[in-house]
Amino acid sequence: MATAASLPQDGLPASPEAIVVRFAGDSGDGMQLTGGQFTLSTALAGNDLATFPDFPAEIRAPQGTLFGVSAFQINFGSREINTAGDAPDVLVAMNPAALKVNLAALKPGGLIIADTGAFTKRNLDKAHYEANPLEDGSLAKFDVLAFDISEKTIEAVKPFGLGNKDALRSKNMWTLGLALWMFDRPREPIHDWLKQKFKSKPEIADANIAALDAGHAYGETAELAGPLKQVHVDPVPSAPGLYRTVTGAEAVSLGLVAGAQLAELPMFFGGYPITPASAILHHLARLKEFGVTTFQAEDEIAAICAAIGASYAGQLGVTSSSGPGIALKTEAIGLGIMTELPLVIVNSQRGGPSTGLPTKTEQSDLYQAVYGRNGDAPMPVIAARSPSDAFEVAIEACRIAVEYMTPVMLLTDGYIANAAEPWKVPNPADYEPFPAQFLTEPRSEQLLPYKRNEKGARPWIKPGTPGMMHRIGGIEKHELTGNIDYSPDNHQRMTDLRKSKVDNIVVPDQEVCLGETSGKLAVVGWGSTFGPIHRAVDNCRAKGMDVSHIHVRHIWPMPKNMGELLKSFDHVLVPEMNTGQFKTVLRDQFLVDAQPLTKTSGQPFQIAELEAEIGKFFDDIPGNEGGQVPANDQQLPSTEGGAK
């Protein structure tokens, strides 16, 4: 064991309110798996948590390279956790590249756990290190624990007769064992999981368990030696009930299944593989007993067209993709709007344009969702704010689609899709059903497939219904019969009717989720920026700033009270992971002077950067002259204000 120079700070507190750990290694090192299992054990320990998996687009990027680094960050605590954390307290670096890529994020005085076995000349070269950072004193401002995890793993799994290459694959379990010890977590759930995962290869299960146990035992021994100590994070007080962890992709899938059940419809899901949306197809493919048909189409276009075809035939059509795939589906979305059939389109946004950043997150498809079609083609758009919220939003998307006979776009993003959080398991009986109504007999002497109800929705008539034969299509149609009708007056009326149907969709009034309903500053967000904005606003309010957080779920149409609400604040700040798209929509709809705060680095907002921007509106607050908020301030539990 080696430790770096004397510690500049006191290291980790013995029982912090919250702590951020980042596991980083080669994309083949199993960091996502390690992080996932650590998340489970953290959830079982009753902490609130948020995670941020950050991995390369390549499946097996060349070993040891900087671009092949895969990381998994988790923030967990004894208070409500809103984000995956700005800066890690602990960085586990499985090789030099992982250290190099992630070091900048580490908090000063943070703990580095490094595998010296991977800090070979070859790996140091690949990471462009001229000298070994573990030895040259460059990490002096951190607390460093460096030892040969590779060797210790090989030693631990020796009894199972694995070759070195196979033995080294258990390195991540050794590391996980150490982390479990460090945060005082039981090993049993991981043992059970390993036994289940390697059911058909018990020797592999045993080797991994041995590695895990060895890492755990190493922690105990190392503690005796000094620098490594156990950290206790108390459980968070939460409402009574049953909990589990859930990722956004799982929650969307479950929400769609629930939505179809509430609509009393079988679900048809048309999909085409694309990162980061494929996980939804994978989840739903395993839920066939719920009346779900999944169809992996030949392309994105066929995926949505098949979904529309299924809706036409009386099922709930759903399709899912990410930006480039949504672009391909756009013409079909227009047909869905023209023929007024229910359809849910899930967009797991990623960095763009074009192929962009397949595995990184962004919110830059908002224009595409709201405005991005040929013709006047209004479509409801709603956005999920977190993994668990994606369940609620998916149900809401199904409701709007079925009740208003319209395509609906549900926006999530790469962060929500992959991130996990604890979820209080909902009771399906608590949701109001919205059973689909099919028209089976003409309402008048003449069949009128486009005669609308009080919601502006046309009737849903399934082919196969006797005596109700009619034709629909993408050509402008007569406002009642649906027959082809290009006449000027009719097109004007139909354009107006399609617009007013969507404009008048009933959505709940906009609430202020933190702070007053009027005042100096409203920070308005949508989607996955909820967490950092909420925490930043909370922190600023604790410092005496008159700031409120408004989080918008219904992007289109927006709640009826939105304009009035925004106008009751002196300033409106809109943080977004794009170049200011929602800001434009707010200005367009309400003529408010919404100010953008934008970020397009592929990484979520940090709480500190939001606090700094909010602070600029409050020069009069003592200690905030010039709006300077110290970076990483909110990460230090001792200075954290306003925690719930």
Partner 1 sequence: MNAPAKIETTLKDWETDQEVRWCPGCGDYAILKAVQRTLPQLGADPANTVFISGIGCSSRFPYYIESYGFHTIHGRAPAFATGAKLANPDLDVWLVTGDGDGLSIGGNHLMHVLRRNVNMQIMLFNNEIYGLTKGQASPTSREGTKSPSTPIGSYDHPARPAAFALGSGARFIGRGFDVSKNLPDVLKAAHAHKGAAFIEIFQNCIVYNKDVFNDFAAPKGAEDRQLWLEEGKPMLFANDTKGIALNRETLSLEVVDVTDGDWEAAGVIVHDVTNRSVAHMLIEMPFGPFPMALGVLYDDPRPTFEDAVIAERKKASEGKEANLAKLLGKGQTWTVSGTAQDPV
Sequence-distant (≥ 6) Cβ neighbours of residue 429 within 8 angstroms: none
Contact 42, 183 (CB under 8 A): yes
Closer by beta carbon to partner 1, 107 or else 187: 187
**Helix (H/G/I), strand (E/B), else coil: 260:** helix
**Does residue number 590 form part of the binding site for partner 1 (CB under 8 A)?**
no
Q: Please, which residue, 225 or 429, has the CB nearer to partner 1?
A: 429
Q: Please select the residue that binds partner 1; options are 198, 290, 367, 590, rule is CB under 8 A.
A: 290
What the block records as the tokens of 364 is 């830059």
Decide: 416 and 528 in contact? Cβ < 8 Å: yes
Binding positions for partner 1, 412-431, rule CB under 8 A: 425-429
For the sheet with 547-552, list strands across it: 547-552, 519-526, 569-576, 594-598
CA–CA separation, 121 and 131 (whole Å): 9
Q: What is the closest distance, in whole angstroms, from the C-beta atom of residue 236 to partner 1 in the complex?
A: 9
Selected binder of partner 1 within 201, 229, 288, 455 (CB under 8 A):
288
Q: Which of 5, 131, 140, 484 binds partner 1 (CB under 8 A)?
A: 484
Q: Please tell me whether residue 268 binds partner 1 under the rule CB under 8 A.
A: yes
Query: SS3 letters for 72-134?
Result: EEEEEECCCCCCCCCCCCEEEECCHHHHHHHHHHCCCCCEEEEEHHHCCHHHHHHCCCCCCCC
Nearer to partner 1, 289 or 489 (CB): 289
The Cα–Cα gap between 261 and 128 comes to 55
Per rule CB under 8 A, is residue 515 in the interface with partner 1? no
CA atoms within 13 A on the CB side of 16: 23
The first and second tokens of residue 487, run together, are 């006449």
Residue 296 in the binding site for partner 1 (CB under 8 A)? no
Q: Does 440 bind partner 1 (CB under 8 A)?
A: no
Binding to partner 1 (CB under 8 A) within 12-71 occurs at 40, 43-46
Least distance to partner 1 from the beta carbon of 640, Å?
Answer: 23
Point out which span in 4-12, 260-268, 450-458, 542-550 binds partner 1 (CB under 8 A).
260-268
Q: How far apart are CB 295 and partner 1 at their closest, in Å?
A: 6
DSSP state of 550: E
Q: In terms of DSSP H, where are the helices of 519-580?
A: 530-542, 562-567
Place of tokens 């925690």: 643
Smallest gap from Cβ 39 to partner 1, in A, equals 11
8 is a contact residue toward partner 1 (CB under 8 A): no
Question: Which residues lie closer than 8 Å to 41 by C-beta, 6 or more apart?
Answer: 180, 185, 186, 189, 190
Q: Give the residue, chosen from 197, 451, 462, 499, that forms a contact with partner 1 under the rule CB under 8 A.
A: 462
Residue list 187-216, contact with partner 1 (CB under 8 A): 189
Q: Which residue in 91, 97, 274, 301 binds partner 1 (CB under 8 A)?
A: 301
Total residues binding partner 1 (CB under 8 A): 75
Closest to partner 1 by CB, 6 vs 196, is: 196
Min dist. Cβ of residue 333 to partner 1 (A): 10
Interface residue with partner 1 among 331, 516, 546, 609 (CB under 8 A) is 331
Residue 437 binding partner 1, by CB under 8 A: no
Which of 463, 623, 630, 641 is the binder for partner 1 (CB under 8 A)? 463
Residue 464 near partner 1 by CB under 8 A: yes
Residue with smaller CB distance to partner 1, 100 or 477: 477
293 binds partner 1 (CB under 8 A): yes
Least separation in angstroms between residue 425's CB and partner 1 is 5
**Chosen residue from 159, 433, 473, 623 binding partner 1 by CB under 8 A:** 473
Q: Are strands 2-3 and 143-147 parallel, antiparallel or unpaired?
A: antiparallel
467 burial (CB, 10 Å; 0-12 / 13-18 / 19+) is: exposed
Q: How far is the CB of 320 from partner 1 (least distance, A)?
A: 15
**One of 299, 496, 570, 593 touching partner 1 (CB under 8 A):** 299
Cα torsion 294, 295, 299, 304 to 10°: value is: -70
Tell whether residue 163 is a contact of partner 1 (CB under 8 A): no
Which x/- pattern, by CB under 8 A, does the window 111-140 give for partner 1? ------------------------------
Q: To the nearest whole angstrom, how small is the minimum distance from the Cβ of residue 498 to partner 1?
A: 17
Which of 443, 447, 455 has its CA nearest to residue 501? 455
What's the CA angle centered on 72, arms 246 and 168, to 5 degrees? Answer: 115
Using rule CB under 8 A, residue 368 touches partner 1: no
Check residue 468 for interaction with partner 1 (CB under 8 A): yes
User: Candidates 112-120, 401-409, 473-481, 542-550 — which segment interacts with partner 1 by CB under 8 A?
Assistant: 473-481
Residue 324 interacts with partner 1 (CB under 8 A): yes or no = no
CA-CA distances (angstroms) from residue 174 to 178, 180, 210, 212, 402? 6, 10, 8, 4, 50
CB–CB of 266/315 below 8 Å?
yes
